[in-house]
Amino acid sequence: MSLSPVEGVALAEIESGTDPVGPAAKGVVGRSPGQLAWLRLRRDRTAVVSGVLLIFFLLLGLSAPLIEMAYGIGPREQFQNMLDGFGMPLGYAGGVSGEHWFGLEPNLGRDIFIRLIYGLRTSLFIAFAAALITATIGIVLGALAGYLGGWLDAVINWITDLTLAMPFLIIALALTPTITLRFYGERGQVSSAFGVGVLIAVFAIFGWTSTARLVRGQVIALREREFVEAARASGAGLGHMLFRQLLPNIWAPILVSFSLAVPQFITSEAALSFIGVGLSDETPSFGRMIYDSLDFLQTDPAYVFFPGIMIFALVFAFNLFGDALRDALDPKSSR
């Protein structure tokens, strides 16, 4: 009798005698693959440190309105009285003080710290929303193509190849302003919600292909297994086959793909905002802040330092955690 991959992973751990937690747990058997992955993840110091850092960033982003209330300064407030005649912040390191922890923006005098908090919230929302949408599209199309095959598989593969052949940056440069002009015109003030929605839509159009190919390959490898044949012989429908038999056995690579897609969308959002086709200046964004700070690299280096180090730490933590998660979900991993 053939076992499903989920059952096979747990059985392989038991038969191999490997112990993910130490000698004290050698008598414990029957752990699920999820429990085994969690035990490996807890032992990985890199995963623990990066996971704590990601939780910290998520809490900062979610509590942005509360931080604004406690801080007493909003992201759009301007302090022109704290700028000199050349528009530069008064004081040391770009106006860093007890009132303005990270200083002020030159020319406009907005508080950098509170704009970083809201920029973090914006980046995380766009990245997670885009990752969820692209994962959903990729899972559905990949599962259908892998399980049904035939002409549907050929059509989905053709669409995937066509999407991969399109240069993302060039299409984004042309598509984003075009959509904005279509709805707001040349002089209309673009709302923050609209700009965020356009970016998520652009990422969703191009970001689903890797997940679709991953799921298609995994489903093709599983669709002829005996447990799938048994479910099909018992009269199971398409939905049952996909969501009860196949997808539960490939959740590990999907989860890893999702964790690595989030930092990719964070950097993509920052890059588009940096070149001026992403979010407007009214919406706090890491990329927009770094772009605005380029003219002040010599006179106010703190202006570029704080958003730069924030996006670096965020993306670095996501990448480290994604790699650790991949190692934890791999039953053949030696870590």
Same domain, 118 and 253: yes
pLDDT, one tens digit for every residue, the chain (335 residues) = 445 555 555 455 445 444 444 544 444 456 666 777 788 888 888 889 999 999 999 999 999 999 999 988 888 888 888 878 777 888 777 788 888 888 888 888 888 899 999 999 999 999 999 999 999 999 999 999 988 888 998 999 999 999 888 888 888 888 887 887 777 766 556 677 888 888 898 899 888 999 999 999 988 888 888 887 888 888 878 888 888 888 888 888 888 889 889 999 998 888 888 887 777 777 888 888 888 888 888 888 888 888 889 999 999 999 999 888 888 877 565 54
**Tokens encoding 173:** 């440069």
Structural domain contains residue 315: yes
Same domain, 140 and 202: yes
Helix spans in 17-110 (H)? 33-43, 45-62, 64-71
Same domain, 148 and 25: no
Per the listing, tokens 């042309």 go with: 174
Distance CA 270, CA 116 (A): 13
Distance CA 159, CA 141 (A): 10
Q: Which of 267, 287, 316 is nearest to 116 (CA)?
A: 287
**Tokens encoding 76:** 């759009």
Q: Is 167 helix (H, G, I), strand (E, B) or coil?
A: coil
Query: CB under 8 Å to 55, separation ≥6 — which residues?
Result: none
Q: What is the pLDDT of residue 241?
A: 83
Distance CA 291, CA 276 (A): 8
Q: Report the CATH number at residue 160.
A: 1.10.3720.10
Distance CA 172, CA 198 (A): 10
Same domain, 204 and 230: yes
Same domain, 125 and 151: yes
Distance CA 145, CA 216 (A): 6
Same domain, 238 and 109: yes
Same domain, 184 and 305: yes
Q: What is the pLDDT of residue 331?
A: 59
Q: Which of 98, 91, 55, 94 is nearest to 73 (CA)?
A: 98
Structural domain contains residue 334: no
Same domain, 133 and 24: no
Same domain, 111 and 213: yes
103-120 in b/e form (b: 16+ CB < 10 A) is bbbbbebbbbbbbbbbbb
- DSSP notation for 213-234: HHHHHHHHHHTTSHHHHHHHHT
- Which domain range does residue 65 map to? 48-329
Same domain, 27 and 137: no
Structural domain contains residue 39: no
Q: Which of 126, 202, 196 is nearest to 168 (CA)?
A: 202
Number of domains in the chain: 2
Same domain, 14 and 84: no
Q: What is the DSSP letter of 95?
A: T
Same domain, 13 and 91: no
Distance CA 296, CA 299 (A): 5
